[in-house]
Amino acid sequence: MEEKARQRLETIALTIRRHIISMLAAAGSGHPGGSLSAVEILVSLYFEVMRHDPGNPAWEERDRFILSKGHACPVVYATLAEAGYFPVEELQTLRAFGSRLQGHPDRKKLPCLEASTGSLGQGLSIASGMALGFKMDSKPNRVYCLMGDGELDEGQIWEAAMTAAHYKLDNLCGIVDRNGLQIDGWTCDVKSLEPLADKWRAFGWNVIEVDGHNVCDLVSAFGRFRHSHFKPTVIIAHTVKGKGVKPMENEAGWHGKAPDADLAERILEELDGGGTR
């Protein structure tokens, strides 16, 4: 990736982080930790990798993105707004009564979403069904599904993993936000996932491991996915929960707690100074 392109994506990522903090502070509730850890993943997809058209959200040839860990919707809303799907100002209505930006993605309210999610473990099944449909219809669309690592405790994830491998869904890319934390603490303490890469390989998937905050590595990994054949691909993105906001980094307590106005102001000032990458 050229230096100019890298800088562009990193600038967008910083803006997305500002939006996440601002909208959560306005709402007084929400999930900052897992939203901040996924910023570079979403920015890489929507601003470099996926085929999509904000002017025509129903474009049949678009790629699909499924947020399986639906509680992290602030990062998706912020990304969609920056991409031009709706006004940035609307982000301040997060979780407000009657808002299109609910606490978990609601496709009926916001049609540019591909699915309503929030019950953990279901997203990969939805994505697998979409990918299988595209295969059956000989269509070129690709499907991307972002999962939390704590979400991998759900058995339905592995049922979907078997299904995708069985049907050789090489148009399906799963992404694991491997930040190591879930609501009750470190994933290794709640329920160990290791050896995670070997588990996915045993289920018949092509596995790529990357630094989930390095946009160059992410874009390269998505390129490798596009050139893979006869297997679904999973990208294990090693990330930091709360990335870019020092008080929130690697702190399970910020899984589902919004910053108050004073803290939000301090965080935004720090991000204005260049962030904490």
Which residue in this structure is represented by tokens 């329920």? 191
Q: Residue 274: its pLDDT value, please?
A: 59
For 159-189, how does the pLDDT look when each residue is reduced to its tens digit (9 = 90+)? 999 999 999 999 999 999 999 999 999 999 9
Which residue in this structure is represented by tokens 């204005």? 272
Q: Are 258 and 25 in contact (CB under 8 A)?
A: yes
Q: Residue 1: its pLDDT value, please?
A: 85
Q: Are 52 and 76 in contact (CB under 8 A)?
A: no
Peptide bond into 247 cis (omega under 30): no
Look at strands 181-182 and 185-186 and give their pairing.
antiparallel
239, pLDDT greater than 60: yes
Tally DSSP H helices, then E strands, for the chain: 10, 7
As beta bridge partners, residue 66 has 145
As a whole number, mean pLDDT of residues 73-77 equals 98
In degrees rounded to 5, what are phi and psi of residue 139?
-100, 150
Q: Residue 277: its pLDDT value, please?
A: 39
Residues 75 and 54: their CA atoms lie apart, in Å, by: 17
Residue of 7, 67, 17 lying closest to 243 (CA atoms): 17
Q: What mean pLDDT is reported for the chain?
A: 97
As a whole number, mean pLDDT of residues 140-146 equals 98
What's the chain's length in residues? Answer: 277
Q: Residue 273: its pLDDT value, please?
A: 80
Q: Are 18 and 236 in contact (CB under 8 A)?
A: no
- Taking every pair of Cα atoms in the chain, the longest distance, rounded to a whole number of angstroms, is 53
Strands, DSSP E only, in 155-232?
172-178, 181-182, 185-186, 206-211
Which residues in 241-252 are b (16+ Cβ under 10 Å) and which e? bbbbbeebbbbb
* pTM confidence score: 0.97
For 2-58, how does the pLDDT look when each residue is reduced to its tens digit (9 = 90+)? 999 999 999 999 999 999 999 999 999 999 999 999 999 999 999 999 999 999 999
C-alpha distance across the termini of the chain, in Å: 19
Phi-psi region of 121 (alpha: psi -120 to 50; beta: other; left: phi over 0): left
276, pLDDT greater than 70: no
